[in-house]
Chains A and B, each alone.
Chain A
Amino acid sequence: MADPDFDAAVRSHAGDLYRYAYWLARDRQQAEDIVQEALLRGWRAFPRLRDPSALKSWLFSIVRNEFLRLVAKNGPAMQSLDDPGMEVSDERAGLFGLEMRDALMALPVAYAEPLALQVLGGFSCAEIATFCDTTEGAVMTRLTRARQALRRLIAPAEAAGRKGGES
């Protein structure tokens, strides 16, 4: 494929790639750097892409790869993609009544990532599983737990009060 194809793909997906990078890194500047560096690498590797229909998922995968590179470089300050690390329900139980975006911020990256890929990228559970090199079942579990956690986190304050009254 020629460079104009790559340029068009970048223009078409730049916004969602940035948003995906943002929900991985949780930092606007880092998200911008990740996408920029990833696309530079992507441009170099673009001639080797054999299946044009895989372009979108390939772009998302190189952004993911760039984020992983940052994780490896910066160490434990950034969250792992593979290890959810904590039970959302227990650790975040005190955060009832959050706005959706704050609730998303409270999710571990391992839960937020498949949500971002599904909602922003439009990828199916099977595609996300391939993308993240895990099983479809694992993706479905994470998506379910993520939504359950979000429901709890954004539950209105009275729900928290009701729960407190029951105990």
Chain B
Amino acid sequence: MNCLDYRRVLLTGDGETEAMRQHRLQCAHCAPLFREHGAMENDLRRALEVAVPEGFTERLAESLATQRPVASAQRTGRRRFLAAAAVGAGAIGLGLYAWIGRDDPMAMASIDFVIKEEAKSIMMGAMPRAEAESRLADSLPLASIERIGQIRHISPCPFGGGMAYHVVLMTPQDKVTLLIMPDSSRRSRASASHDGLYASVVPLRKGSVGVVGMSAAVVDSVVGAIQA
């Protein structure tokens, strides 16, 4: 290691490796730089640690506590609706019942994403095609997606506690949203229906994908094409 390498790594703040330490102990130029860096890091930490408003954590806990009954009530209401819908669905066919009766959390989250996050994700801009090809090569290659429909948007997004790739796809039948999760594996297909949207999450060679559309038929069609 030379002085240039030492300084380059030191400024990233990722800590001093053993090789760096050995260099510093023998270098008259880097030893004082290390001391100066340490002092600056202390200043930096103090500066970043802005004071948290008094009672903030308590207000936060209170806010969560007061919101929970509302959220729980909403979920209960949703379950009642789903149950009622399932009864109705039974009258018109077991296939539709299967859609509404299930409430897979990831499929529900995919629907929530389309309702609450999709517009923002599109506004934030698309990722370069070459990068998308590289990131999705092992899970769902762009060429495979383009056999199903025309890609209108693709971008990375935080989803389900990890990173996903948001794809807006125009198929011959309708617009469909894909949430490709290369790091979230799944054994089998699971589905959900909520707020007039239908979603299925299916396993990929690597990871999984959430498919969200306006009808069960179009979601089934896209899932079939993905799994073909």
B205 within 8 A of A: no
Contact between chains at A50 and B11 (CB < 8 Å): no
Given contacts A19-B50, A45-B109, A104-B47, contact A10 B160 (CB under 8 A): no
CA distance A28 to B53 in the complex (A): 8
Q: Which residue of A lies closest to B120 (CB)?
A: A72
A30 within 8 A of B: no
Q: Which A residues have a C-beta under 8 Å from some C-beta of B?
A: 3, 7, 10-11, 14-15, 18-19, 22-23, 28, 32, 35-36, 39-40, 43-45, 47-51, 54, 58, 61-62, 64-65, 68-69, 71-73, 99-101, 103-104, 115-116, 118-120, 124-125, 130, 133, 140, 143-144, 147-148, 150-151, 154
Interface stretch (choices B64-72, B169-177, B191-199): B64-72
Which of B45, B48, B49, B68 lies in contact with A43, CB distance below 8 A? B68
Contact between chains at A133 and B57 (CB < 8 Å): no
CA distance A15 to B55 in the complex (A): 11
Q: Which B residues have a C-beta under 8 Å from some C-beta of A?
A: 8, 11-14, 40-41, 43-50, 52-53, 56-57, 59-61, 63-64, 67-68, 71, 105-106, 109, 117, 119-120, 123-124, 156, 158, 160-163
Residues of B within 8 Å of A51, CB to CB, are 161
Contact between chains at B64 and A10 (CB < 8 Å): yes
Q: Chain A interface secondary structure, helix, strand, loop or mixed?
A: helix
Contact between chains at A120 and B67 (CB < 8 Å): no
Given contacts A43-B68, A49-B161, A54-B161, contact A120 B49 (CB under 8 A): yes
* Interface contacts beyond A14-B56, A40-B64, A115-B13: sample of 8 additional A-B pairs, CB < 8 Å, sorted by A: A19-B50, A48-B106, A51-B161, A54-B161, A64-B158, A100-B43, A120-B49, A147-B11
CA distance A130 to B163 in the complex (A): 8
CA distance A5 to B181 in the complex (A): 25
Contact between chains at B48 and A39 (CB < 8 Å): no
Contact between chains at B44 and A19 (CB < 8 Å): no
Q: Which residue of A lies closest to B14 (CB)?
A: A125
Q: Could you pull out 19 A-B pairs where Cβ atoms are within 8 angstroms? A: A14-B60, A15-B57, A19-B49, A23-B50, A32-B56, A43-B64, A62-B158, A68-B120, A72-B123, A73-B120, A101-B50, A119-B45, A119-B48, A130-B163, A140-B14, A143-B11, A147-B13, A148-B11, A150-B44
Contact between chains at A44 and B71 (CB < 8 Å): yes
Residues of B within 8 Å of A119, CB to CB, are 13, 41, 44-45, 48
Residues of A within 8 Å of B49, CB to CB, are 19, 120
Q: Which residue of B lies closest to A28 (CB)?
A: B53
Shortest distance between the CB of A100 and any CB in chain B (Å)? 4
Shortest distance between the CB of B74 and any CB in chain A (Å)? 9
